[in-house]
Structure 1
Amino acid sequence: MVETVHNERLEKVPNAMVDRLGAARIGTYRGELSAVQLDRLRGAEGLEGAAALMRRKRWQYSAICTDEIFIAQAIVHAGYAAHTFMYAVDLLEERPVLRFGGLGVPGLQVEVGDRPGVGLAAHYRRPGAHLYTRREPRGAPYEMGGRLGAWAAPASGKTDFRAELHTRGAAPALTVISPVPAPGRINVTQKWTALPVKGHLKVGSRSYRLDGGLGALDYTQGYLGRQTAWRWAMGMGRLPDGRRLGLNLVEGFNDTHPTANENALWVGEELIGLGRARFAFEKNHPERPWEVQTTCGRVRLGFRSIFVHREVRNLGPVRSYFIQPAGVFEGEVRVGSTSYAVRLVGVTEDQDIWW
C-alpha cells in the first residue's frame, strides 16, 4: 500500500478513462465515468487475446437499507466463470430472511456491461431466478430488483423485489482508476452510497417498504491479478441533523498509487475524500467485532455483525475465500471541524481469491 496524496475535494471525472495515446488516466475523481474501455489500453497497461479474457473481471454489487431491512445483491462476471448472491437481513429481529446464490454461464446467464452509470446493465438469469441492477440510457434512476421462485430459495419462499436508487440531489459518485499488481494491469471502480430509495421487498409472507431508505452501488471492472485480496467496509445512515451519510473504505486494493484512493464519505450533497483505511478484526472469527478507521482521523468506527455471508470455494484453478458480515457501525465521523456520533448499517468484507 502507498500512502495517498490526500485530497478532500476531488477533480471532476474525465470524459474517458483512456487518453489519446492509450494510457489510463490514473486517479480519484468525482462523478460518473461514461464507460470502461479496457480494450483501448495500449503498451504495458494493455492486454489482448486469451490474456485479456483471463484477467478481465467485472461485477456489480448493490445494497439497500432501511430501519427494518438490509438487502445485498452481487452479480459477478469473471470471464470464464460467473456467480451471484442475494441476501436480506431483518434488522429488528437481527436474522436473515433471504439467502440465495448460484453459479452461471458467463455471457448467457450472467452479464455485466461496460457502463457503470447511465446504461448500466447487470443481470443473472436462470429458470425461477432473475436478479438485476440497471439504469436506462435516458438517465433515469438506477433500478435494482429480483424475482425468485419458491424453489430457488426454499428456506425463504417466493421473493419479489423492486427498488429505485435516485441520484438527483445526492452527492456525486466516486470514480477510481488504479494500477494493480502484475499480471493484472488496470482497475476501474465507481462507488456511490447514501442514494435515496423507493421500492418494496416481499419474501414469503413478509413485506418491507423501502421508501425513505438508502442505497449503495459498487461497479468494478479491470484486468486483475491472479490473486486479488482486500478488506472493505460500506455503510449508510444519517447525521444527527438529518443529512444522508455514506461511507466506503478499502485496504489492500486500489491503493498502490498515491493518487488512487477509494476511501470517501458522502455527506448530503457533498463527496469528501479520506485518507487510507485501517482494519482490525479476527480473521478466523469475522462474526466478532471489527474496528475501522482512516489515517486522516475523520473516521473511527466499531462494527458489530448480525449475519455473515460466506463463500469459500475450491474449484481447482479458482479458489475463493469471501466473507461479508452485515451489521451495524457505531462510532465517530468528523465532517469539517465537527465530530458526530453516528450509527450506520452496512457490511465489512474480507476477500482473498485466486482466479
Structure 2
Amino acid sequence: MVETRQNERPGKVPNAIVDRLGAARIGTYCGELPAVQLHRLRGPEALKGAAARLRRKRWQYSAICTDAIFIAQAVVHVGYAAHTFMYAVDLLEERPVLRFGGLGVPGLQVEVNDRPGVGLQAHYRRPGAVLFTRREPRGAPYELGARLGAWAVPSYGKTDLFAELHTEQAAPALTVISPVPDPGRINVTQKWTALPVEGHFKVGSRSYDLDGGLGALDYTQGYLGRQTAWRWAMGMGRLPDGRRLGLNLVEGFNDTHPTANENALWVGEELIGLGRALFHFEKDHPERAWEVQTTCGRVRLRFRAIFVHREVRNLGPIRSYFIQPAGVFEGEIRVGGTTYPVRLVGVTEDQDIWW
C-alpha cells in the first residue's frame, strides 16, 4: 500500500499491536483492531510511568454527511487535559447551523477507551451536554449521538443527534501502526469512511433525515511527540455508478516508515491503497482553495471550504493551531483503469500542536 500498485489491499489486521516479544507490528492493515494496548510495548518503543501518561494521546473523530448536512464531532483525551467539539454545516444554504465546544476533566467528563471497533466508548459529559461515539460489544453498528440543551448552544437551540453507522456490506476498516519521532514512540489509527448511515439530527427548529447518508470514523491513540503536525483530508460521496466512495489522505503524520501509510479509498466493499499525499494551500487563508493529490496519480482534487472550524490556543504547556475547513471536493479519482469525475463532502485540516 506504500506506493502505486493498482487496487492494492493491505494485509489482514493482527490480533494485537505487538508481537510476542513486545515489539510494535509496524505496518498497514485491513480490518478492525481488537484493542490498542500500548502498555504491552517492550524495549525502546515502550514508555513507563509519568512519561507514558504525558505522551499518551487518544481521540475519536466522527462525521456524517447527506446531500443536505455535514456533521462533525470529536472527543479528545490527552492525558492531563481533554476537550470536545461539534459542528454542523447546512450544505444547501452553505452556512453553519451548529457550533459547540468545551473543555473537560479527563477520565471523569471525557473518556476514549482502548477499543477502536467492537466495544468502543468515547464520550464527553457535562450538565446539559452529552456527546458520544460507541459500539456495543456484540458487534452492533457504531452509534453517534449528541444531546445539547438550549443553554449550552444558545445561538442555535436544543440539539439532538442519533445515528447508526453500519459496517455490514461496507469496505473494511484501515488500521495503521506507525513509529513517530522522539519523544514519542508509536501511533495507532483506525480509519473508516463511506459507512451507510441511518438516523436523525435536530437543531433548534431544523430537522434533518440522515437515512441514506454516509459516515466516517477516525480512532487514534499513541505515544506522540511534544510537537505533532499534519495535513489531513477526509471525504465521502458516490461514484457516477452509485458505489459509495470514501477518501482518507494525510501528510506529515504516520508516513515516516515505508510500510505505514493511511492514504486510501473505500469503494463499495473494497479498500484500496494509495500513494503518498500532497497538499497545496494558503496557510494564512485556509478558506481559499486547497489542492490535494497522491503520488500514484489516482487522486486529483480541488477543495472549496464552506465553513472553517478553528481552535487556536496558548495554554502554557499546550499550544495548538488547529484549522479544519468543511466543504466540497471536486475533481477526478481513478479506480482500476477508469477515471471518474467526483464530488465529495468532507474536510481538510492543518494542525500543529505542542502538548
**Normalised TM-score (structure 1):** 0.99
Question: Aligned partners of 2:341, 2:35: CA distance in 1, in Å?
Answer: 38
Aligned residues: 353
Counterpart residue number, 1:153: 153
CA offsets per residue over residues 254-290 of structure 1, 9 Å max, x none? 0010000000000000000000000000000000000
CA offsets per residue over residues 2-61 of structure 1, 9 Å max, x none? x93555221000111111100000000000000001000001000000000000000000
**Backbone CA RMSD of aligned residues:** 0.8
Question: Aligned partners of 1:293, 1:6: CA distance in 2, in Å?
Answer: 13
Question: Aligned partners of 2:162, 2:232: CA distance in 1, in Å?
Answer: 26
Unaligned runs of 5+ in 2: none
The alpha-carbon distance between structure 1 residues 26 and 36, as it changes in their structure 2 partners (threshold 3 A), is same
CA offsets per residue over residues 45-83 of structure 1, 9 Å max, x none? 000000000000000000000000000000000000000
SS in 2 for 1:51: helix
Residues 101-250 of structure 1 aligned to structure 2 (within 5 Å): 101-250=101-250
Counterpart residue number, 2:255: 255
SS in 2 for 1:284: coil
Question: Aligned partners of 1:91, 1:297: CA distance in 2, in Å?
Answer: 29
Counterpart residue number, 2:264: 264
Report if aligned partners of 2:133, 2:143 keep a CA contact under 8 Å in 1: yes
What's the CA shift for 1:350? 0.1
Which amino acid counterpart does residue 63 of structure 1 have in structure 2?
A
Residues 1-355 of structure 1 aligned to structure 2 (within 5 Å): 4=2, 8-355=8-355
CA offsets per residue over residues 216-252 of structure 1, 9 Å max, x none? 0000000000000000000000000000000000000
Question: Aligned partners of 1:5, 1:245: CA distance in 2, in Å?
Answer: 20
Question: Aligned partners of 1:103, 1:308: CA distance in 2, in Å?
Answer: 20
Which amino acid counterpart does residue 140 of structure 2 have in structure 1?
A
CA offsets per residue over residues 322-351 of structure 1, 9 Å max, x none? 000000000000000000000000000000
CA offsets per residue over residues 99-126 of structure 1, 9 Å max, x none? 0000000000000000000000000000
**Normalised TM-score (structure 2):** 0.99
Which amino acid counterpart does residue 331 of structure 2 have in structure 1?
G
SS in 1 for 2:51: helix
Report if aligned partners of 1:39, 1:46 keep a CA contact under 8 Å in 2: yes
Question: Aligned partners of 1:207, 1:88: CA distance in 2, in Å?
Answer: 12
Question: Aligned partners of 2:144, 2:4: CA distance in 1, in Å?
Answer: 33
Question: Aligned partners of 1:41, 1:326: CA distance in 2, in Å?
Answer: 37
What's the CA shift for 1:310? 0.2
Which amino acid counterpart does residue 128 of structure 1 have in structure 2?
G
Which amino acid counterpart does residue 214 of structure 2 have in structure 1?
L
The alpha-carbon distance between structure 1 residues 50 and 58, as it changes in their structure 2 partners (threshold 3 A), is same
Question: Aligned partners of 2:37, 2:20: CA distance in 1, in Å?
Answer: 12
Report if aligned partners of 2:3, 2:276 keep a CA contact under 8 Å in 1: no
Which amino acid counterpart does residue 2 of structure 2 have in structure 1?
T
Which amino acid counterpart does residue 4 of structure 1 have in structure 2?
V
Question: Aligned partners of 1:226, 1:154: CA distance in 2, in Å?
Answer: 36
Report if aligned partners of 2:3, 2:295 keep a CA contact under 8 Å in 1: no
CA offsets per residue over residues 153-205 of structure 1, 9 Å max, x none? 11110001000000000000000000000000000000000000000000000
SS in 2 for 1:4: coil
Report if aligned partners of 1:90, 1:97 keep a CA contact under 8 Å in 2: yes
